Structure formats: C-alpha cells, structure tokens
Amino acid sequence: MIIRKGTIEDLPRALELIKELALYEKAPNEVTNTLEMMEKDGFGENPVYGFIVAEENDTIHGMSMYYWRYSTWKGKRIYLEDLIVTESKRGSGIGKLLFEETIEIGKKEGATGMMWQVLDWNEPAINFYKKYGANIEDEWLNCNINF
C-alpha cells in the first residue's frame, strides 16, 4: 500500500469515494460537489484543500481530505474533512495509514492539532479514533448555512 499526495488525475476516484461515504452515512443525495469544483478548489490559483490517497496496484482504496483552519484559542489546526476507505478494504489498516499520515502533514506544517467530526452512530469510526486518545465531545453543536 502506497500513501501519496492526491493529484488532479485522482479526482474522479476521489469523488467516487465521497459518494460511497455519503451512501454509508445515509445521505447519498447530499453530494453536490463536481469534478470541476474539485479541480478549481484543489488545484486552482488558491487551493483550499489537500488530500492523500492509499493506492495498491494502481487502484485507490482510500483517501484523507483535509484543509487548514485557525482557532483563536489554539492557533493553526489541520481539519480532517473526510477519512474514507472503500467498503471492501475496511479493517485492513488503510484508515490507520491515512490517519497517521494526515497527522504527520499537520505536524510538518506547524499545526497545533487536528480536528474532525464523526457521526454519533458510527461506532466503528468512534472506536478507531478512541485508539488514538481522541477527545470526542458532545458539548458543541454543528451549525451551517447553505448558499
């Protein structure tokens, strides 16, 4: 298994993985992102995200997508938007490789920590994150506005 930086050529597979995750999270119709948007937003003049992929025999089995945020309390943080491993490869250690490499990217870039979200019913993911000593809070509520 090779963990490497994602390229523009990887975007079609990345979008497939995103849609697979949406199906798993019971929200298959919520993905409105497109390849064109991902190209512009990740590889345009001002990239707003990065991603790494797990590849074996020229097939991408998983990815980690992240971006940078700033905490007034903690400073620069890496935000793990999605950690996705295709269903047939879950439990094989790919998630661990991607998660740990994302942490390393944050450290190399001077971040003070990493943040992410997990659905309260996703016990496999919660148990995975607990192995790393993750603080899983129930105090903060997620808010958003769609444009």
- Residue 129: active-site member: yes
Q: How many CA atoms lie within 13 A of 59 on its CB side?
A: 7
Handedness of CA 73, 42, 134, 1 (dihedral sign): negative
Helix (H) or strand (E) holding 100: helix 94-108
Radius of gyration of the chain measured on its C-alpha atoms: 15
User: Using an 8 Å Cβ cutoff, are 18 and 31 in contact?
Assistant: yes
- Catalytic residue, from 24, 67, 70, 129: name it: 129
User: Using an 8 Å Cβ cutoff, are 87 and 23 in contact?
Assistant: no
Residues with catalytic roles: 129
